[in-house]
Structure 1
Amino acid sequence: MANDSKIVPVPVLRRMPAYLSFVKTLQKQGEKYVSSTRIAEYMEIDATQVTKDLSHTGISGKTRVGYEVDNFVEILDDFLGFNKINNAFLVGAGSLGCALLQDKGLRNFGLNIQKAFDVDKSKIGTKINDVEIFHVDQFRGMPGECNVAIGIITVPAECAQNVADLMVAWGIKAIWNFTPARIKVPAHIAVQNTTIYTNLAILFNKLHGQE
């Protein structure tokens, strides 16, 4: 990843995938160049913000022409890590876990879920989107054997900390936590919390705030 020695602010990282998606759409339409102004109009932000964000990546544009689309896509894909496959294990093959397993698009963004784990005996040995489900007791040692650094937690909130402890103990270096629980892990473990209920609360607030 370019500039991986520098910490990029989270708000910037949140905008960059949208930049990439927009420019990939232009690429498919055969367009060769895109300006920061056009990206800004799509994002409904100031063009100077787009330029500032992209300064983290090494992408450079041409005066009066803008950014070369193919180069833009290649560099930003690399910068965001989407062009490298990162193997992951998922713990919790319930409704949300199964939805992630069925999402073939994740691999397009560099995430390959190799195996899933659960405690439900009826699920053990079955497959979802060619990903086999194992009993969580079999997690031991597998991350190292399979070269897996990412763990995805989609269990009930009350089980999240126990699963996180298991992941840390057996070599997971980064955790994507989909539960409302805020897990505690050593400082060297990267954690990203993604809670759909938070976004739902924001949506409800916007909806009912207009009434």
Structure 2
Amino acid sequence: MGLDITVLVVDWDHLGRTPAAERLGMLEDAACPDDDCDDGVGGADAGVEHGWVRRPDTPWCALYEFFRTLGSFKPHFWAGQAWEDVRDSAEPDLRAALDVFLAGLFWLGPDDADTGAEDEPIVGLFPAERDPWHPRLLVVRTPEQVPDLARAWAVAAPLLEDLRAPYAVHAERPGRWTANFEEFAILVRDWGEVVTEASRSGRGLIGLPI
């Protein structure tokens, strides 16, 4: 079994009003209610539109279903590896923007630049000592951090197609997750949708390992 990821756009005020010890369980229940876990589209009561799953009983969050990932974290990991392979050949403005954008989401970040994305734990958001039955969260971005990602995406989005040719030379790997530019672009644009919605709504992002 591999690592999964479920991405939620979350109302931070609602999260803050919930006792810290209950927050992770609340998020997991919102992502996968007991009566919905076996349904492929989030349950009969969930509204699904353009990848978004919105349940009437959890208006404080929305779940995004990434296209063609089957909920696995592997495509995201390999997209980060692909960016490592191709970034030196990217146009400077695109490279700078995607460095910030991807490092704020699923990429470890470059060795040669400060992306500005905060990787320190969000103090007080969850209990200091993690429950050993729960892996660490894969993404945590507060409403204050999201606009930086949205601005980076606004720069990167119209330039992304320029990466097609260098990607074919430096990063295309048939047979692996995120094998070609099309798959990379679909995944990155999905993240662009998530970040844009979070920024528009003034909410934060959380990636659960489920």
Normalised by the size of structure 1, how large is the TM-score? 0.31
> Which structure is richer in relative contact order (CA contacts within 8 A, separation 6 or more)?
2
Q: Please say which structure displays the higher CA radius of gyration.
A: 1
Normalised by the size of structure 2, how large is the TM-score? 0.31
| Larger strand fraction of residues | 1
